[in-house]
Structure 1
Amino acid sequence: MRLRVEFTTEPFDLEEAPAHAVVAREVVRGAALDAVDVGPFGNTAEGGADAVLAAVDTMLRRSLAVGATRISLQINVIEGAAGEAVPDDAGDPAAPEAGR
């Protein structure tokens, strides 16, 4: 399974990149991810589920440790094992179709 993560760390500083933003970017650039795109107002990266989840864990812990007060993130499944799209609620036990 492939995942796409999009995230932003706060507080913003338009004059200079804060330490938490620098750390977050270093984590995703150093992880085994592809399609990494970092910017002043948001960052995205794609990769295998294990790599993305490990990078997110590290990014959250390290960014919070150096001053992030808010981290907004979204993770999306971008394709299934056979390269087909996976529904947003796949694997969600609360989803109406789950367990059928």
Structure 2
Amino acid sequence: MRLRVEFTTEPFDLEEAPAHALAAREVIQTAQLDALDVGPFGNTAEGDSERVLSAVAALLRDSLEAGATRVSVQVNVIGGDAP
């Protein structure tokens, strides 16, 4: 099954990316996912379910440890592989 994850971390800082945002992006960028889109107010990536779910667990842990006060995550099944 393929999944798409969309996430944001807070609090926002318009001057520079906070440590929690950088931690979450690092997880996603090294998770061997595709269709990666990193932006100031949201990030998306796609991949097989095991990689996406592992990456979501790591980004939650790492971004919260780096000072995030809120992490919003949405995961969607993409393609025709839904159970």
Is the shorter-chain TM-score for this pair beyond 0.5, marking a shared fold? Answer: yes
Q: Which has the higher strand share?
A: 2
Matches within 5 A, 1:49-64: 49-64=49-64
- Give the corresponding residue for 2:20: 20
TM-score (norm 1): 0.80
* Secondary structure of 1:41 counterpart: coil
Quote the sequence identity (%): 69
* Secondary structure of 1:63 counterpart: helix
- Give the corresponding residue for 1:30: 30
- Deviation at 1:32? 1.5
Q: How many residues align?
A: 83
Greater CA radius of gyration, 1 or 2? 1
* Secondary structure of 1:62 counterpart: helix
Contact persistence 2:35–2:45 (CA under 8 A): yes
- Deviation at 1:5? 0.2
TM-score (norm 2): 0.96
Unaligned runs of 5+ in 1: 91-100
- Give the corresponding residue for 2:39: 39
- Give the corresponding residue for 1:93: none
Q: Which has the higher helix share?
A: 2
Unaligned runs of 5+ in 2: none
Computed over aligned residues only, the root mean square deviation of the Cα atoms, in angstroms, reads: 1.0
* Secondary structure of 1:67 counterpart: coil
Larger RCO of the pair (alpha carbons < 8 Å, separation 6+): 2
